Structure 1
Amino acid sequence: MVRTPLTPEERERGERLGRLLREARAGRSMAEVAAAAGISAETLRKIETGRAPTPAFFTVAALAGALGLSLDALVVHCALVPAG
């Protein structure tokens, strides 16, 4: 299976998600948050650094739950504002 290259907008959205997750994690370790979300610390690291800019919905939902974030807040924070 060949993946379609990501658009600049998709990359930017992934970077915004990563920043939000890092900020929400605050003083908690990656390992602690990852374990609470049921994912590996390496997966969380990739999402936070933008190396995995399009994580699966269920991964994002699990991270939101572990960090006390609403999915609505994630959408608002990560949505791109159209240039105009």
Structure 2
Amino acid sequence: MVRPPLTPDERRRGEELGLLLRHARGERSIVEVAAAAGMSAETLRKIETGRIATPAFFTIAALSNALGVSLDQLALHLTPDLSLPA
């Protein structure tokens, strides 16, 4: 099955996600955070640079856990019009 090309909005959102994750990583190394999330450093590098613009949900869940960032906060930054129940 051939995956359809990403839309400009999907690419932009992937880049924004990468920036958020990179910021959350702070001074920690890519290797350290990737290991804590159970993935390769190269995969994390690709996500942070937007080369993997639509990572799997469980990949982002593992990263959010390793970084101490809630999925709710990531969602709010990436979809500002999203209203989460209180």
Name the structure, 1 or 2, with higher relative contact order (CA <8 Å, separation 6+): 1
Structure 2: distance between partners of 1:80 and 1:11 = 17
How many residue pairs align between the two structures? Answer: 81
Structure 1: distance between partners of 2:39 and 2:23 = 18
Query: Is 2:75 the counterpart of 1:75?
Result: yes
The alignment yields a C-alpha RMSD, in angstroms, of 1.0
> Cα distance 1:50–1:23, how it changes in 2: closer, same or farther (>3 A)?
same
Q: Percent identity?
A: 70
What residue in structure 1 maps to residue 33 of structure 2?
A: 33
Structure 2 counterparts to residues 46-65 of structure 1, below 5 A = 46-65=46-65
Pairwise CA distance, 1:80: 6.0
Q: Which amino acid aligns with 2:63?
A: L
Pairwise CA distance, 1:17: 0.4
- Does the 8 Å contact 1:22/1:48 carry over to 2? yes
For residues 39-63 of structure 1, give each alpha carbon's deviation from its aligned partner in whole angstroms, at most 9, with x where no partner exists: 1000000000000000000000000
TM-score normalised by the chain length of structure 2: 0.91
Structure 1: distance between partners of 2:53 and 2:80 = 14
Structure 2, unaligned stretches of length 5 or more? 82-86
Q: Which amino acid aligns with 2:19?
A: R
Pairwise CA distance, 1:79: 1.6
Shift >6 Å, 4+ stretches: none
Helix, strand or coil at the partner of 1:2: coil
